[in-house]
Amino acid sequence: MTAITHHVSDELLDAFVTGSLAHPFAVVVAAHLSLCDACRARAEAAEMLGGMLLDRIAPAAVSRGAQDRVMAALDHAPPAPPIAGSGIFPAPVMQALDGRPPKWRMLGGGIRQQILSADADGSLRLLYIPPGRAVPEHSHGGLELTLVLQGSFSDSEGRFGTGDVEIARNDIDHQPIAGPEGPCICLAATDAPLRFRALIPRLLQPLFRI
Amino acid sequence: MQADTANQTDPTLWLLAVRDRRDRAAFLRLFEHFAPRLKAMLMRGGLRDGSAEDVVQDVMLAVWHKAAQFDPHRAEASAWIYRIARNRRIDLARRKPPPEPDVMVEPEGSEPDAAQILALGQEAALLRRALDAMSPDQARVLEQAYFEDLPHSRISEMTGLPLGTIKSRIRLGLQRLRRDLNELRQP
C-alpha cells in the first residue's frame, strides 16, 4: 500500500467532527479516516476540544427518573454493533451498502456504478473504472469528494492512489483516468449534479443520475 | 501507578473503571458528571427538555455498552462521550446513524503506554488553558460549532490499522488546535 498523499482539508475535517457535514461527504471522510492515521489523529484531536467544551458547559439538571432508568437498563442486551468493514470497503462504505456487496450497474465503456444515496444532501456512489479507462469529462455545480478504495486514477490535479481523497471544486474540469495496474474503485460524493461537457454524456446524465 | 494516572482527569479514570471492571459506582459518577452537561449541550442544539433527557439516557447507555472501545492513549472521557452524543444527534436529525470509521483496537495483551497517556494529558492541559484564555465571544463561536450546527448540504485492501503513529499524531493535532486558539487571541 503506497503512502496516502492527498488528505481531507481542515474545513471538511472540522465539519465532520462537529457533525455539520452533509451525509454523502461524511461517509467519504469517515472512510478516509479508516484508511489514514494522520487524518484520524487530526479528527480525534478536534474531538478533544469538543470534550473540553462539553466539560465547561453550564449543566442542566437531569431528573432522578432518568438516572434510575439508565441504571436499571445497564443489564439489558447491548445494541448490535455497527456493520464492520470488509475487503477493500471500510466500515462507513459497508454501512452505506447495508452490509451487502455492491450491485454494479453498467454505464458503458466498462465503467460501473452503484448509487448509495441521492437526495437533497447530495449523492454518494461507488465507481468502478477499468484500467486505463477515463470517466467522461465533467464539471460540477459544487464540490466533489472522491476517495480511492482500490487502484488509482490520475487527472489534471495529479495521481490519486488507494486511500487518497480528491477535493474537486466547481472550477475544475477534470477527466479522471484509471491507472494501468488494475481496476480503480472509488467512493464519490457530490452536492450538485455533475455537468458533462460532451453532448452524449450530457444526454446520458439522467441515466447516470449523478 | 500514581504517576501514570496523575495526568488523567477523574472522568477518564471512571470510564476506565467501567471499561475494565464494569464498575457501576464509577458509571454513576460518570452519569452525575456528564448527564447534566449532555442535556445542556442537547438543549443548545435545539432539543426540548424532555427529548434532551431521552437522548441523554441513550447516550449514557451507549457509554456503558461501548466502554470497551475507549482508548486512553487517544482520548479523554469527555471527548469520547462528546463523539457518542454528536453521533446520536445526527442520527436523530437524519433518522439514520452517521458513518463511523472502523474501530481501532489495541493488539491483544498490549500494556498501557504510560508515557503516551501522560503526554496526551499534558497536551490536553495546555489546550484547556488556551481555551480558558479565550474571550466569551470566541468560546461561544466554538460552542455553536460543536453543539448547535447540524448536517447541511451546503458546503462550498485494508490491513490492520497501526496504532503507533496515530498516538503521537493526536498530540500534534492538539498542538495545532492550541496554536489556532492562541492565534485567535491576538488582536
Query: What is the domain count for chain B?
Result: 1
- H or E segment to which residue B43 belongs: helix B24-44
Query: What is the domain count for chain A?
Result: 1
CB contacts of B176 in chain A (<8 Å) are 42, 45
CATH number at residue B74: 1.10.1740.10
User: Degrees (nearest 5) of the Cα angle B2, B3, B4?
Assistant: 90
User: What is the span of the domain harbouring residue A183?
Assistant: 1-210
For residues A17 and B144, give the distance between their C-alpha atoms in angstroms, rounded to a whole number.
13
Closest CA to B86 of B59, B46, B50: B59
Is A125 in CB contact (< 8 Å) with chain B?
no
Mean pLDDT of B135-161: 63
* Contact between residue A163 and residue A35 where contact means Cβ atoms under 8 Å apart: yes
- Predicted local distance difference test score (pLDDT) of residue A36: 92
pLDDT band at A202 (very low <50, low <70, confident <90, very high): low
- pLDDT at residue B146 is higher than 70: yes
Minimum-distance CB partner of B53 among A66, A74, A87: A66
pTM: 0.87
For residues B63 and B59, give the distance between their C-alpha atoms in angstroms, rounded to a whole number.
6
For residues B60 and A192, give the distance between their C-alpha atoms in angstroms, rounded to a whole number.
38
In the predicted model, what is the mean pLDDT of chain B?
Answer: 82
For residues A125 and A97, give the distance between their C-alpha atoms in angstroms, rounded to a whole number.
10
* Contact between residue B100 and residue A30 where contact means Cβ atoms under 8 Å apart: yes
* Contact between residue A130 and residue A111 where contact means Cβ atoms under 8 Å apart: yes
Q: Quick check: is B161 in a domain? A: yes
Q: Quick check: is B2 in a domain? A: no
CB contacts of B60 in chain A (<8 Å) are 70
User: What is the span of the domain harbouring residue B29?
Assistant: 8-185
Mark which residues 24-83 of B lie under 8 Å from A by CB: 24, 27-28, 31-32, 34-41, 43-44, 52-53, 56-57, 60-62, 64-65, 74-83
pLDDT band at A149 (very low <50, low <70, confident <90, very high): very high
CATH number at residue A26: 2.60.120.10
* Contact between residue B77 and residue A51 where contact means Cβ atoms under 8 Å apart: yes
Inter-chain touch B99–A52, beta carbons under 8 Å: no
Is A63 in CB contact (< 8 Å) with chain B?
yes
* Contact between residue B75 and residue A44 where contact means Cβ atoms under 8 Å apart: yes
